Amino acid sequence: EPEVTQTPSHQVTQMGQEVILRCVPISNHLYFYWYRQILGQKVEFLVSFYNNEISEKSEIFDDQFSVERPDGSNFTLKIRSTKLEDSAMYFCASSWGPLNTEAFFGQGTRLTVV
């Protein structure tokens, strides 16, 4: 069964360092998303991406964050200068269509900023 794949599963980084989280969405999907979940809190939407551009972003997704689809299969989230409060589980999701279609999530990358 097709699935969304995320790497790495766990990343530890020092405050101020740049990190790139990687995702391989389901192959025929066209819409891609990043979410995050701080420990003990709700899953929160960060950004949606379609046709090689951001279609929507939340107030969390500030200038420290960027997304890219560098090739036909990968979708990345970059955090330019990590802060302690960026520590969270980051989930990538994809769907074949827009707003009324089912979203499929990856297993997540646990980011720990020390």
Partner 1 sequence: KQEVTQIPAALSVPEGENLVLNCSFTDSAIYNLQWFRQDPGKGLTSLLLIQSSQREQTSGRLNASLDKSSGRSTLYIAASQPGDSATYLCAVRGMYSGGGADGLTFGKGTHLIIQP
Query: Contact residues for partner 1 (CB under 8 A)?
Result: 6, 33, 35, 41-48, 55-59, 91, 93, 99-100, 102-108, 110
As measured in angstroms, the least distance from the Cβ of 75 to partner 1 is: 15
Q: Which is nearer to partner 1, 74 or 107 (CB)?
A: 107
As measured in angstroms, the least distance from the Cβ of 16 to partner 1 is: 26
Euclidean distance between CA atoms 27 and 24, whole angstroms: 8
**84: DSSP letter:** G
Euclidean distance between CA atoms 18 and 102, whole angstroms: 32
Q: Which is nearer to partner 1, 79 or 93 (CB)?
A: 93
As measured in angstroms, the least distance from the Cβ of 82 to partner 1 is: 21
* Helix, strand, coil percentages in the chain from 3-state DSSP, rounded to 5: 5, 50, 45
Structure tokens, 2: 């097709």
